[in-house]
Amino acid sequence: MQRIINDPDNVVDDAVKGYRRASPDLYAATEHPRVLKFSGETVDKVGVVTGGGSGHEPAFLGYIGEGLCDAVAIGEVFSSPTADAFLEAFRAANRGQGVACLYGNYAGDNMNVKLARQMAEMEGIDVQTVVARDDVASAPADQRDKRRGVAGEIIMWKVGGAAAARGESLDEVIRLAQKAVDACSSIGVGLSSCTIPANGKPNFSIDPGMMELGIGHHGEPGIEVAPLTDADAMASAMCGPILADRTFENGSEVAVLLSGLGATPVMELNLLYSHVADRLDAEGIKVHRTYIGNYFTSLDMMGASLTVVKLDDELKALLDAPCRSLAMTQ
């Protein structure tokens, strides 16, 4: 395993230490070693929290900052944070106006957020949740509740974070974060596996010359293993299920988030984007804003995930609002 680590079992704690030392202008410690909070000025507003497994950097810690998340709980690589960690994140983010917990639909996260929320309520902290279910490949449109949350979570944090920053109530932050992630359709394509440091070997396999459409952020099986195509055909394969997932009118406006999965050169993401743009153009869809880069990864997996966000004026204003964090500054 060619990796930059110490003891493979301590990777997460060692990395958290590094985040804190590298960016004291962003990160402050909390009572829990796997929870960091924003170190900037404390403003009286709704708290925004997320959390999830490690290995998706810059998610989740990279989205702590101004106009984004106030506290983040992380777990082992590809594992949910504990309920205690979520609880500490709620405490760290709470300023008396309640906490919006915006996270992805995975069994462990659902269970631990639920427990943490009960504990927080006993402490008088009002926690409301939005669960991201944007991965179109993980379940059909009529079973949206089974869909996994993937890179659409970033749009949910951005919109929820901007709403909280401008002083909206908890109910309103929740409404807007829910609206944001409901507007997201995402799909991934994997070209290689990835290696969890504590295991030391790839956690699944994709044969050379093949690609897996609809792959999950932890290597969950996709909808099709097919011969590796060129980028043009790959863009079609990714856009197909996304365009079929909701109605786009001629003139619909969208944001496009095209994230590398870890090992894909940014040059190739931009190359792929040009073909995604062709598909959207052909439908008369207007691209309002793009995010192209490594926003939500899966360790050293080769591949990309595409998220298309259908916008209205309300979402556009929140997406365009300024923010500052390790992963996203605008």
Active site residues: 56, 218
Looking at the Cβ atoms of 249 and 281, the one nearer to a second copy is: 281
x-or-dash string of contact with a second copy, 72-111, rule CB under 8 A: ----------------------------------------
As a whole number of angstroms, the distance between CA 223 and CA 225 comes to 7
172 binds a second copy (CB under 8 A): no
Among 28, 29, 198, 292, binds a second copy (CB under 8 A): 292
C-alpha gyration radius of the chain: 19
As a whole number of angstroms, the distance between CA 259 and CA 291 comes to 8
DSSP line for 183-249: TEEEEEEESS--B-TTT-SBSS---TTEEEET--TT----SEEEE---HHHHHHHHHHHHHTSS---
Specify which residues 36 forms β-bridges with: 29, 72
x-or-dash string of contact with a second copy, 40-79, rule CB under 8 A: --------------xx-xx---x-----------------
Q: How does DSSP classify residue 144? A: G
Closest to 222 in 3D by CA, of 301, 114, 110: 301
x-or-dash string of contact with a second copy, 307-326, rule CB under 8 A: -------------------x
Among 93, 206, 213, 242, binds a second copy (CB under 8 A): 206
Looking at the Cβ atoms of 201 and 251, the one nearer to a second copy is: 201
What is each CA distance from 254 to 68, 241, 248, 249, 296, in whole angstroms? 20, 16, 9, 11, 19
| Contacts with a second copy, residue ranges (CB under 8 A) | 2-7, 11-12, 14-15, 17-19, 21-23, 54-55, 57-58, 62, 191-192, 206, 208, 211, 228, 230-232, 234, 258, 262-274, 277, 290, 292-294, 297, 299-300, 302-304, 326, 329-330
